Amino acid sequence: MNHILSNKKVILLYIAPALFLILALVYVPIVLTGYYGLMKWTGFGGMKFVGLENYSRLIQDSLFWQSAYHSFLLALFSVLSLIGYLLVSLILAGKIKGANLIRKIYLIPMLLASVIIAQLWMKIYHPSNGLLNHILIKLGIENPPSWLADPEWVLFAIIVPVIWQYAGFYILIYYAALKNIPQELEEVAKIDGATPFQIATRIKVPLIMNVIKVTIVLAVVGSLKYFDLIYVMTGGGPNGASEVMASYMYNKAFNEFDFGYGSTVGFFLLIICLIVTYLIRKLTVVRPNDNN
Amino acid sequence: MKRKGYSLLFAAVLVWTVVLSGCSGGSEAGNESGSEKMIQFMHLWPAGSSKHHNMIVKDIIEQFESKHPGVHVEVEVLENEQYKNKMKILSSSNQLPDVGFTWAAGYLNPFVEGKLFAPLDDVLDDGLKDEFVSGTTEAYEVDGQTYGLPLELNIAPIYYNKKIFKENNLEVPETYKEFKNVVKTLESEGVTPIALGNKDRWTGSLWYMYLADRLGGPKMLNKAIDRSGSFEDSAFVSAADEIQKLVKANAFNKGFNGLSNDEAKSQFLNEKAAMYLMGTWELPNFTTNEEIPQEFRDNVGYFKFPTVEGGKSDINSWVGGPGVGLFVAQNSKVKDESKEFAEFFVEKWGDQAVTKAGVIPATKVDTGEVELPQLYIDILDDLNQSSNLTLFADVQMSSSVAETHLNLIQSLFGNEVQPKDFAKRHEEALQKE
């Protein structure tokens, strides 16, 4: 067994299918996107090489920076929401009754397809028949905003379901990490007279710091390239008020037939994600001494 | 130990087979099986949402196949927006179906420039051209060649709910002043005057186009787009101003900028709004569609967009245009058969479209000969009297200008742009072309 698995040819045989797929579907398209980004191209017909012209256009494109701002705002709120998820997981990982059931309830939104979540929240936000405005009117608010149609509210109206959608995922990760902490540590701390709050902040959180770091990267990068709910719920509107980088890229390439520029936006988005990931890793380095 | 190794090997082989068969699956579909020729045909009338259209298409294909033994038509059906998306994706990899649906003017241009559509003048010169209502095939012309055979002709009247009008003692308005009174009365009675789903944006564009037409005359918009005129004409600005006045008067349903056209339509169908400006493709819903209560259908009437005092256009000028048309792909392997199919389709469609699906075809209809609901007869007669037909603005414009236009329409209705800037930004976008 071990003999067969340590054979180089066998290793190659086993990793080849996945490697082939990931190369063909991820890495080759990335390289191609970078290439198309240097072209003036309508998606069909001839391409014209324009060098970095698309990038200089991108730098001056205020609509792009507006959508980038929205993306970063979404990332900020996603990261802030992680604190909430962590709190919930800390409580769930403690010995409370029904923790199992509650954990499953939190997980359910994860099982729904994005489009269904979008449809659900569109019904909630419906300006005259929606659940939310019904409640607001009952509470005596006379002129509630028409959420998805209101440029001042639309972004927040979308951030809420995005956070709701991923709650179960992060809670599950934190919960699993917390369950991995040896029981003895907590018992020892208790004997030493530590309060539950101290146990949480001094023992549990530092011990799962590595997991927290990963979730921060996941949340930030996931937010920066976020697309689905926004595409279904508003399409980036009204007039770009909920446009994010990915939907902007889509609109440029597929609605305006500007595949060259669309590719530039896509490639730039990739670069931003890489830089941000690198920065987060740098900023959250845990010095060896702190680790134990 | 050894046996386990074999079974692992076996598993690896299995994985590889799955991967490889997944890769080859796509290419087999395109082959012709034996002597049979296959025409790939893509349309946008699914049986669920466009039952009658779908049935006619099936019928036409059956007729065609029985007349042409050895030719098989393979159909793919997608819903409107998905259809448009798929067209974009297929065209970027140069794999368009042999025959499919396209829209006129601005939508068509990039496909023609990319040499993806075949010119169809040979088909038209075969005598087919005389069967079309004049002005319809022209919308599919690029540099003197026609690239689409139009199937539909649509104009946009304002539908209204007769019951609601009667309850509030309202008459059909003929001037814009009367129209504003209607809006005011309805609003004060707590009835939503107009249903509008402006998330789709072209819906708001219809309102703007009519006001621009009534104020500045029938050719103003065409001229601004083909650059023999300017979008900074004062009539464009005052039309934008009128839109914002309507919005301030609460003429439209609440939150229209976040609602899709379908959501707005359901408000009108549920008698929650009194008026609805939309293309004649909605006529079946107001006449023959059994799924909508008879009582409501009897209550729907329509009127022409009112004239504006001092405006330069008459009441018989319409916003509208040919809807979808058929294209034949340039690189089709069965081009002759495909052209024949497209021609056959247009002829048969004209015979059945209005009576069975309630679609006004781009080919001529003799109202004396067909049995139709009164609403249709009226519209067809009005169409015969029309003084002008302005093609939908977003169809006329190139796709990037259209995108600017549609976004500006949303901001205009949302009160985020001043009428002057609205016109100025259109002018800038058009100049950049």
Query: What's the confidence (pLDDT) of residue A291?
Result: 44
CA–CA gap between residue A81 and residue A102 (Å, rounded): 18
Nearest to A239 among B4, B85, B414 (CB): B414
- DSSP of B213-246, one letter per residue? HHHH-TTHHHHHHTTSS-TT-HHHHHHHHHHHHH
pLDDT band for B1, please (50, 70, 90 cuts): very low
Q: Burial, A68: exposed, middle or buried (Cβ in 10 Å; 0-12, 13-18, 19+)?
A: buried
Rg for chain A (alpha carbons), in Å? 24
Q: Give the list of residues 6+ apart from residue B215 with CB closer than 8 angstroms, or none.
A: B235, B238, B239, B242, B308, B311, B312, B313
Element (H, E) at B389: strand B388-391
pLDDT band for B5, please (50, 70, 90 cuts): low
Chain A residue closest in CA terms to B409:
A239
Both tokens assigned to B294: 């008879």
Tell me, what's the ipTM?
Answer: 0.72
Chain A residue closest in CA terms to B192:
A128
What's B131's DSSP letter?
A: G
- For chain B, the first-to-last Cα distance in angstroms comes to 72
For residues B47-72, average pLDDT: 88
Chain A residue closest in CA terms to B405:
A239
B213, B390 contact by CB (below 8 A)? yes
- For chain A, the first-to-last Cα distance in angstroms comes to 38
Tell me the domain boundaries of chain A: 62-291
Chain B residue closest in CA terms to A13:
B12
pLDDT band for B118, please (50, 70, 90 cuts): very high
Q: Express each pLDDT in A48-96 by its tens digit.
A: 888 889 999 999 999 999 999 999 999 999 999 999 999 989 888 877 7
Residue B200 phi, psi dihedral angles, 5° rounding: -80, -15
Q: Is B251 helix (H, G, I), strand (E, B) or coil?
A: coil
The one-letter amino acid code at B432 reads: K
The one-letter amino acid code at B242 reads: E
Q: Express each pLDDT in A248-290 by its tens digit.
A: 999 888 888 888 999 999 999 999 999 999 998 888 776 555 4
For residues B13-20, average pLDDT: 53
Query: What's the confidence (pLDDT) of residue A268?
Result: 93
Chain B residue closest in CA terms to A16:
B16
A126, A133 contact by CB (below 8 A)? yes
Any idea how long chain B is?
A: 433
CATH of domain B155-320+389-432: 3.40.190.10
Q: Express each pLDDT in B27-47 by its tens digit.
A: 334 444 456 789 999 999 888
The angle at the Cα of B395, spanning B393 to B396, to the nearest 5 degrees, equals 65
CA–CA gap between residue B53 and residue B49 (Å, rounded): 9
Name the E strands within B46-111.
71-77, 99-102
- CATH number among 2.60.40.10, 3.90.226.10, 3.40.190.10, 1.10.510.10, domain B37-152+323-365: 3.40.190.10
pLDDT band for B163, please (50, 70, 90 cuts): very high
* Probe site for chain A from B92, B401, B425 (most A CB atoms < 10 A): B92
SS3 content of chain B, % helix, strand, coil (to 5): 55, 15, 30
pLDDT band for B358, please (50, 70, 90 cuts): confident
A188, A198 contact by CB (below 8 A)? no
CA–CA gap between residue B380 and residue B147 (Å, rounded): 26
Please name every residue paired with B42 in a beta bridge, in sequence order, or none if there are none: B76, B100
Q: Give the list of residues 6+ apart from residue A173 with CB closer than 8 angstroms, or none.
A: A211, A214, A215
B429, B405 contact by CB (below 8 A)? yes
What is the architecture, at CATH level 2, of domain A62-291? Orthogonal Bundle (1.10)
pLDDT band for B287, please (50, 70, 90 cuts): confident
Query: What's the confidence (pLDDT) of residue B13?
Result: 56
Cross-chain Cβ contact B110/A254 below 8 Å: no
Q: State the pairing for strand pair B153-155/B317-322.
A: antiparallel
A125, A157 contact by CB (below 8 A)? yes
Percent of chain A residues past pLDDT 70, beyond the cut: 96
User: Residue for token digits 């409640």?
Assistant: A135
Cross-chain Cβ contact A237/B199 below 8 Å: yes
Percent of chain B residues past pLDDT 90, beyond the cut: 41
- DSSP of B262-320, one letter per residue? HHHHHHHHTTSEEEEE--GGGHHHHHT-TTS-HHHHHTEEEEPPPBPTT-S--TTEEEE
B160, B303 contact by CB (below 8 A)? yes
Both tokens assigned to B428: 């800038």
Please list every residue in chain A whose beta carbon sits closer than 8 Å to the beta carbon of residue B399. 255-257
Percent of chain B residues past pLDDT 70, beyond the cut: 91
Please list every residue in chain B whose beta carbon sits closer than 8 Å to the beta carbon of residue A259. 92
* pLDDT for residue A140 is more than 70: yes
Query: What's the confidence (pLDDT) of residue A45?
Result: 66
Nearest to B110 among A14, A238, A257 (CB): A257
Pick from B295, B271, B269, B267: which is nearest to B282 by CA? B269
* pLDDT for residue B22 is more than 70: no
Q: Is the previous residue joined to B218 through a cis bond, with omega within 30 degrees of 0? A: no
Q: Is B161 helix (H, G, I), strand (E, B) or coil?
A: strand
Do the first three CATH levels of B37-152+323-365 and B155-320+389-432 match, i.e. the same topology? yes
Does the CB of A227 have a partner CB in chain B at under 8 Å? Answer: no
Element (H, E) at B160: strand B158-161
Does the CB of A49 have a partner CB in chain B at under 8 Å? Answer: no
Tell me the domain boundaries of chain B: 37-152+323-365, 155-320+389-432
Cross-chain Cβ contact B399/A257 below 8 Å: yes
Does the CB of A25 have a partner CB in chain B at under 8 Å? Answer: no
Please name every residue paired with B99 in a beta bridge, in sequence order, or none if there are none: B41, B328
Question: What is the per-residue burial (b if ≥16 Cβ within 10 Å, else e) of B238-259?
Answer: bbbbbbbebbeebbbbbbbbbb
CA–CA gap between residue B148 and residue B306 (Å, rounded): 33
Please list every residue in chain A whose beta carbon sits closer than 8 Å to the beta carbon of residue B113. 42, 45
Both tokens assigned to B277: 């400006």
**Most confident among A50-64, B104-118, B362-376 (mean pLDDT):** A50-64
* Shortest Cα–Cα distance, B314 to chain A (Å): 33
B37, B71 contact by CB (below 8 A)? yes
Residue A284 phi, psi dihedral angles, 5° rounding: -105, 20
Query: What's the confidence (pLDDT) of residue B29?
Result: 41
φ/ψ bin of B252: left (φ > 0), alpha (ψ from -120 to 50), beta (otherwise): beta
Instruction: State the Cα torsion A4-A7-A12-A13 to the nearest 10°.
Output: -30
